[in-house]
Amino acid sequence: MDAADFSRIRQAKLGRFTIDRLMTILARFGQRVEVTVTIHPRQAA
């Protein structure tokens, strides 16, 4: 992991990271990553 990437993560500047990249980084640190997606129908306006 680049030092610049590590610095961005520590500062919570996550705009340049994709979800899969963040998950990969966490996995490298031995963290188990679980993602849950729930779909809800849109309500009429």
For 1-45, how does the pLDDT look when each residue is reduced to its tens digit (9 = 90+)?
A: 788 888 988 899 988 899 888 888 888 889 988 889 999 999 887
Q: Which helix (H) or strand (E) holds 43?
A: none
Residue 39: the pLDDT is 95
Contact partners, residue 7, CB within 8 Å, separation at least 6: none
Residue 37: the pLDDT is 92
Residue 30 and residue 37: Cα distance in Å, rounded?
23
- The residue type found at 32 is R
Residue 30: the pLDDT is 93
pTM of the model: 0.59
Number of domains, the chain:
1
